[in-house]
Structure 1
Amino acid sequence: MGFEVDEDILQDFLVEASEILEQLSEQLVTLERDPDDKDLLNAIFRGFHTIKGGAGFLSLTALVDTCHRAENIFDILRNGQRQVTPELMDVILHALDAVNVMFSELQNREELTPAAPSLLAELGRYCQPASAEENAAPVSSEPAPASPGSAGIAGLEQAEYQQMLNELAPASDTSSDELSDSASDDISDDEFEALLDELHGAGKHSGVPVDAKSSASAAEDELIGDDEFEALLDQLHGSGKGPTITDDAPFAPVAPPPSAPAPVAVKAEEKPAAKAPSASNANTDSTVRVDTKILDNIMNMVGELVLVRNRLLSLEANHDDENISKTVANLDSVTGDLQGAVMKTRMQPIKKVFGRFPRVVRDIARNMHKEITLEMVGEDTDLDKNLVEALADPLVHLVRNSCDHGIEMPEVREAAGKPRVGTIRLTASQEGDHILLGIEDDGAGMDPQKLKDIAINRGILDTDAAARMTDHEAYNLIFAPGFSTKVEITDVSGRGVGMDVVKTGITSVNGSIHIDSTLGQGTKLQIKVPLTLAILPTLMVLVGQQTFALPLTNVDEIFHLDLTRTRIVDGQMTIVVRNHAIPLFYLQDWLLKGARRERKDKGHVVIVAVGNQQVGFVVDGLIGQEEVVIKPLDQLLHGTAGMAGATITSDGGIALILDLAGLINAYARRYV
Structure 2
Amino acid sequence: MDELIAQFAIEARELVQQASKDLLSLEADPQNRESAESAFRAIHTLKGSVGLFEFGPMQGILHQAEDLLSQARAGRIVIDTTLIEPLLAVVEWIDDSIEGISRTGHLSEAQDKQAPRLLGLLNGKMAEREISEDVGSTTTIPGWAQALQQRIAASDIEGSMICIRYEPHPECFFNGDDPLATISRLPDLRHLAFSLKEPPPSPQDYDPFRCHLLIEAVSGGSLAEAEAVFRLIPDQVNLVPLPRTADKRAFAAPEKLPERSADRQSTTMRVDSARIDKLVEIAGELIATKNGLVPLADEARNQGNGPLARRILSSHHELERLLGSLYSALTQARMIPVEHTFRRFPRLVRETSARLGKALDLIIEGETVEADREIVENLFEPLLHLIRNGLDHGIEPEAERLRFSKPARGRILLRARQRGDQIDIEVADDGRGMDPNHVRAAAIDRGLLSKSQASVLSDREILQFVFVPGFSTASSVSDLSGRGVGLDAVQNSVKRLGGTLELQSAVGVGTSFVLKLPISFSMTQLMVVEVGDERYGIPISDVMETHKLPTSAIQPVRAGRAFVLRDRTIPLLYLGELLKIPSWHPRSGDLKVLIVRTGEHHIGVSVDAIAERVETLTRPLVGLLQGVPGIAGTTLLGDGRVLLVLDMEELIQ
Q: Cα offset for 1:250?
A: 9.3
Q: Cα offset for 1:583?
A: 6.0
1:18 paired residue number: 13
Partner of residue 208 from structure 1, selected from 152, 158, 181:
158
Residue 292 of structure 2 contacts residue 639 of structure 2 at CA under 8 Å; is this kept in 1? yes
- What aligned pairs does 1:38-117 form with structure 2 within 5 A after superposition? 38-112=33-107, 113-114=111-112, 115-117=114-116
1:338 paired residue number: 326
103-112 or 474-483, which deviates more: 103-112
Look up the SS of the partner of 2:407 in the other structure. coil
- What aligned pairs does 1:548-567 form with structure 2 within 5 A after superposition? 548-552=536-540, 554-555=542-543
650-659 or 331-340, which deviates more: 650-659
1:466 paired residue number: 454
2:124 paired residue number: 125
Residue 646 of structure 1 contacts residue 655 of structure 1 at CA under 8 Å; is this kept in 2? yes
Residue 561 of structure 1 contacts residue 605 of structure 1 at CA under 8 Å; is this kept in 2? no
2:407 paired residue number: 419
- What aligned pairs does 1:138-217 form with structure 2 within 5 A after superposition? 208-209=158-159
Residues 648 and 225 of structure 1, relative CA distance in 2, 3 Å threshold: same
Partner of residue 483 from structure 2, selected from 492, 495, 506:
495
Find the aligned partners of 1:126 and 1:276 in 2 and give their Cα distance: 27
Find the aligned partners of 2:373 and 2:619 in 1 and give their Cα distance: 19
- What aligned pairs does 1:336-485 form with structure 2 within 5 A after superposition? 336-485=324-473
Q: What does the per-residue CA deviation read over 1:206-241, in whole Å, with 9 as the maximum and x for residues that have no partner? A: 653569xxxxxxxxx964223346993664335234
Q: Cα offset for 1:51?
A: 0.4
Find the aligned partners of 2:346 and 2:394 in 1 and give their Cα distance: 17
Q: Gaps (5+ residues) in structure 1?
A: 136-195, 212-220, 253-274
Q: What does the per-residue CA deviation read over 1:220-276, in whole Å, with 9 as the maximum and x for residues that have no partner? A: x96422334699366433523453265776999xxxxxxxxxxxxxxxxxxxxxx99
633-642 or 482-491, which deviates more: 633-642
Residues 249 and 223 of structure 1, relative CA distance in 2, 3 Å threshold: closer
Residues 458 and 386 of structure 1, relative CA distance in 2, 3 Å threshold: same
Residues 466 and 568 of structure 1, relative CA distance in 2, 3 Å threshold: farther
Partner of residue 597 from structure 2, selected from 601, 608, 618:
608
Partner of residue 513 from structure 1, selected from 487, 501, 514:
501
Find the aligned partners of 2:492 and 2:549 in 1 and give their Cα distance: 31
Verify: 1:302 aligned to 2:268, yes or no: no
Q: Which amino acid aligns with 2:88?
A: L
Residues 577 and 349 of structure 1, relative CA distance in 2, 3 Å threshold: farther
Residue 439 of structure 1 contacts residue 526 of structure 1 at CA under 8 Å; is this kept in 2? yes
Q: Cα offset for 1:341?
A: 1.0
Verify: 1:224 aligned to 2:190, yes or no: yes
2:512 paired residue number: 524
Look up the SS of the partner of 2:448 in the other structure. coil
Partner of residue 645 from structure 2, selected from 648, 657, 666:
657
Find the aligned partners of 2:567 and 2:122 in 1 and give their Cα distance: 65
Find the aligned partners of 1:298 and 1:282 in 2 and give their Cα distance: 27
Look up the SS of the partner of 2:528 in the other structure. strand
Look up the SS of the partner of 1:122 in the other structure. helix
Residue 561 of structure 1 contacts residue 618 of structure 1 at CA under 8 Å; is this kept in 2? no
Cα-Cα RMSD:
3.8
Q: Which amino acid aligns with 1:24?
A: A
Residue 510 of structure 1 contacts residue 551 of structure 1 at CA under 8 Å; is this kept in 2? no
1:34 paired residue number: 29
Q: Which amino acid aligns with 1:128?
A: A
Q: What does the per-residue CA deviation read over 1:78-109, in whole Å, with 9 as the maximum and x for residues that have no partner? A: 22233233344332222111111222222223
Find the aligned partners of 1:634 and 1:46 in 2 and give their Cα distance: 44
Normalised TM-score (structure 1): 0.74
Residues 55 and 596 of structure 1, relative CA distance in 2, 3 Å threshold: same
Q: Percent of aligned pairs with the same residue?
A: 30
Q: Cα offset for 1:399?
A: 1.7
Look up the SS of the partner of 2:381 in the other structure. helix
Residues 508 and 210 of structure 1, relative CA distance in 2, 3 Å threshold: closer
Q: Cα offset for 1:42?
A: 1.3
2:240 paired residue number: 244
Residues 421 and 126 of structure 1, relative CA distance in 2, 3 Å threshold: same
Find the aligned partners of 2:479 and 2:568 in 1 and give their Cα distance: 41
80-89 or 441-450, which deviates more: 80-89
Look up the SS of the partner of 1:532 in the other structure. coil
Find the aligned partners of 1:97 and 1:626 in 2 and give their Cα distance: 50
Q: Cα offset for 1:301?
A: 0.4
Find the aligned partners of 1:208 and 1:49 in 2 and give their Cα distance: 27
Instruction: Pick 1 or 2: higher relative contact order, CA cutoff 8 A, min separation 6.
Output: 1
Residue 76 of structure 1 contacts residue 129 of structure 1 at CA under 8 Å; is this kept in 2? no
Look up the SS of the partner of 1:236 in the other structure. coil
Find the aligned partners of 2:40 and 2:101 in 1 and give their Cα distance: 22
Look up the SS of the partner of 2:481 in the other structure. coil
Look up the SS of the partner of 2:432 in the other structure. coil
Residue 634 of structure 2 contacts residue 645 of structure 2 at CA under 8 Å; is this kept in 1? yes
Residue 83 of structure 2 contacts residue 125 of structure 2 at CA under 8 Å; is this kept in 1? yes
2:579 paired residue number: 591
Look up the SS of the partner of 2:292 in the other structure. helix
Residues 393 and 539 of structure 1, relative CA distance in 2, 3 Å threshold: farther
Find the aligned partners of 2:116 and 2:601 in 1 and give their Cα distance: 54
Q: What does the per-residue CA deviation read over 1:321-362, in whole Å, with 9 as the maximum and x for residues that have no partner? A: 454443322211111001111112222111111111222222
Residues 471 and 567 of structure 1, relative CA distance in 2, 3 Å threshold: farther
1:156 paired residue number: none
Verify: 1:533 aligned to 2:528, yes or no: no
Find the aligned partners of 1:583 and 1:444 in 2 and give their Cα distance: 39
Look up the SS of the partner of 1:459 in the other structure. coil
Q: Cα offset for 1:642?
A: 2.5
Look up the SS of the partner of 1:645 in the other structure. strand
Residue 595 of structure 2 contacts residue 602 of structure 2 at CA under 8 Å; is this kept in 1? no
Q: Cα offset for 1:396?
A: 1.2
Find the aligned partners of 1:566 and 1:22 in 2 and give their Cα distance: 61
Q: Cα offset for 1:542?
A: 3.1
Q: What does the per-residue CA deviation read over 1:514-543, in whole Å, with 9 as the maximum and x for residues that have no partner? A: 112222222222222223336444443333
Find the aligned partners of 1:308 and 1:518 in 2 and give their Cα distance: 53
Residues 118 and 551 of structure 1, relative CA distance in 2, 3 Å threshold: farther
Q: Cα offset for 1:436?
A: 2.3
Q: Which amino acid aligns with 1:509?
A: L
295-304 or 613-622, which deviates more: 613-622
Residue 9 of structure 2 contacts residue 102 of structure 2 at CA under 8 Å; is this kept in 1? yes
Residues 82 and 315 of structure 1, relative CA distance in 2, 3 Å threshold: same
User: What is the number of equivalent residue pairs in this alignment?
Assistant: 561
Residue 45 of structure 1 contacts residue 242 of structure 1 at CA under 8 Å; is this kept in 2? no
Q: Which amino acid aligns with 1:493?
A: S
